[in-house]
């Protein structure tokens, strides 16, 4: 087990009908900006629940933070924060709104001239560097509601960069599984694939001696597989929704990866597919993961076999067969929730993609994976295998 530090101070308020607790969590004297996305919260009643809970608090709102939160949009929000002397932020949304809010919490107090520097230079935010903020989660997927990381996109430069820091944990996050009632099935599927991929990135390295962490990660994958058909069906099942929501949070709140190596190559490559084709983030992960695991079979064989055995009860004798069958089961799982796993399922213009992404990684000089042995040439092969 690797040495580690772990601290996660976010307060989770979980359960049916808990949005009203905003009232007692937000300081009464706060000057609050409520941030949200495309307006779905107006239709599903969440906006009204938030509004009712905020009676007596001085607040204004900023809507329109879409998926892959856009730097230019956030700059508009930043201007409002400064003009109106906002001192507390509340994200009402999914990972994109929350990620955008994290960036703003830091940018609002950033002393440099150009806030984009934060991302370009990976400047971490510490406790006194940020405005306090909280979240009401409306779309389980990214785990952003209980971690301190965020990803911001910039159309102008076709960049998608991530950053974070201990000053960027939400003060509190309200997780009411009832919000899942009104989420389109496509987005629920994305949430499942996203959370499942988060676990894979922390799990599919090599067998470690961190037995408890590995079993906890297996617990999340098994639970996601178990509840996936229930949350994808038309009838709403609260209990399945609650498990789905809690799995998404636990998959990326930092706990399960403590003391173990992590990969994250799938995310790095997947981000480029979103940048090039606008494919939903979670779907890019389902495209890249199987090819990544097949290409790196030799290095990951031990963990691929453990995955096949413990997650899919596969007991073949030959390890390569076992690993391959595990990967096929993974693909079948993604397909079962309506998520194709080939780039050609999403775009006809896939030829040349591998070379373009190879070029990006050549320029960035990034080496990926738990062994940092995946360079531009390996990325080329992995993306080609995913066509």
For its own copies, the binding residues (CB under 8 A) are 1-18, 172, 177, 209-213, 215-216, 218-220, 222-223, 226-227, 239-240, 242-243, 246-247, 250, 255, 258-259
CB of 269 to its own copies, least distance (A): 28
Q: Which is nearer to its own copies, 46 or 256 (CB)?
A: 256
Using alpha carbons, select from 225, 220, 227 the residue that is nearest to residue 203: 220
Q: Which is nearer to its own copies, 12 or 54 (CB)?
A: 12
Contact 207, 303 (CB under 8 A): yes
Q: What is the DSSP letter of 125?
A: P
Closest distance of CB 307 from its own copies, Å: 15
Q: Look at residue 178 and give its three-state secondary structure.
A: helix
Nearer to its own copies, 17 or 56 (CB): 17
Rounded to a whole number of angstroms, the minimum distance from the CB of residue 1 to its own copies is 4
Closer of 25 and 331 to its own copies (Cβ):
25
Residue 29 contacts by C-beta under 8 Å, 6 or more apart in sequence? none
Pairing of the two strands 133-137 and 149-154: unpaired
Burial class (CB in 10 A: 0-12, 13-18, 19+), 123: middle
CA atoms within 13 A on the CB side of 17: 0
Distance in angstroms (rounded) separating the CA atoms of residues 232 and 120: 38
Q: Which is nearer to its own copies, 174 or 354 (CB)?
A: 174
Which one, 26 or 78, has the nearer CB to its own copies? 26
Least distance from its own copies to the Cβ atom of residue 136, Å:
15
Cβ contacts of 57 within 8 Å, gap of 6 or more = 26, 28, 30, 32
Burial class (CB in 10 A: 0-12, 13-18, 19+), 24: exposed
CB 84 to its own copies: min, Å: 29
Q: What is the Rg, in whole angstroms, of the alpha carbon atoms belonging to the chain?
A: 21
Q: Report in angstroms how near the CB of residue 259 gets to its own copies at its nearest.
A: 7
Q: Nearest distance from residue 44's CB to its own copies, in Å?
A: 20
62 vs 333, beta carbon nearer its own copies: 333
Greatest extent of the chain over all pairs of C-alpha atoms, in Å: 66
């Amino acid at each position: 087990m690797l040495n580690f530090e772990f601290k996660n101070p976010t307060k989770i308020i979980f359960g049916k009908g808990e949005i009203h607790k905003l009232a007692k969590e937000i300081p009464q004297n706060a000057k609050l900006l409520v941030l949200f996305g495309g307006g779905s919260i107006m239709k599903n009643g969440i906006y009204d629940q938030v509004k009712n809970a905020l009676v007596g608090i001085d607040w204004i709102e900023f809507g329109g933070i879409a998926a892959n939160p856009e730097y230019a949009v956030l700059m508009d929000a930043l201007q409002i924060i400064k003009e109106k002397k906002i001192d507390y932020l509340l994200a009402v949304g999914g990972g994109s709104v929350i990620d955008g809010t994290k960036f703003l919490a830091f940018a609002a107090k950033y002393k440099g001239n150009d806030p984009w520097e934060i991302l370009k230079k990976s400047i971490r935010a510490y406790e006194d560097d940020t405005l306090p903020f909280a979240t009401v989660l409306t779309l389980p997927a990214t785990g952003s509601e209980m971690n301190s990381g965020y990803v911001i996109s910039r159309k102008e430069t076709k960049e998608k960069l991530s950053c974070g820091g201990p000053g960027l944990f939400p003060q509190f996050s309200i997780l009411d599984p009832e919000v899942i009632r009104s989420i389109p099935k496509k987005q629920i599927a994305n949430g499942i694939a996203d959370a499942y991929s988060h676990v894979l990135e922390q799990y599919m390295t090599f067998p470690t001696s961190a037995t408890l962490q590995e079993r906890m990660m297996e617990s999340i994958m098994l639970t996601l597989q178990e509840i996936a058909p229930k949350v994808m069906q038309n009838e709403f099942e609260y209990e399945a929704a609650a498990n789905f929501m809690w799995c998404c949070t636990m998959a990326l709140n930092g706990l399960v990866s403590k003391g173990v190596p992590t990969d994250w190559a799938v995310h790095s490559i997947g981000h480029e597919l979103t940048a090039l084709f606008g494919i939903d983030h979670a779907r890019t992960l389902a495209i890249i993961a199987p090819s990544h695991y097949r290409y790196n079979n030799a290095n990951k064989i031990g963990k691929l076999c453990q995955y096949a055995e413990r997650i899919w009860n596969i007991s073949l004798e030959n390890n390569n067969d076992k690993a391959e069958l595990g990967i096929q089961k993974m693909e079948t799982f993604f397909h079962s929730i309506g998520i194709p796993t080939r780039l050609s399922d999403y775009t006809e213009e896939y030829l040349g993609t591998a070379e373009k992404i190879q070029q990006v990684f050549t320029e960035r000089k990034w080496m990926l994976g738990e062994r940092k042995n995946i360079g531009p040439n390996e990325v080329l092969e992995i993306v080609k295998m995913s066509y």
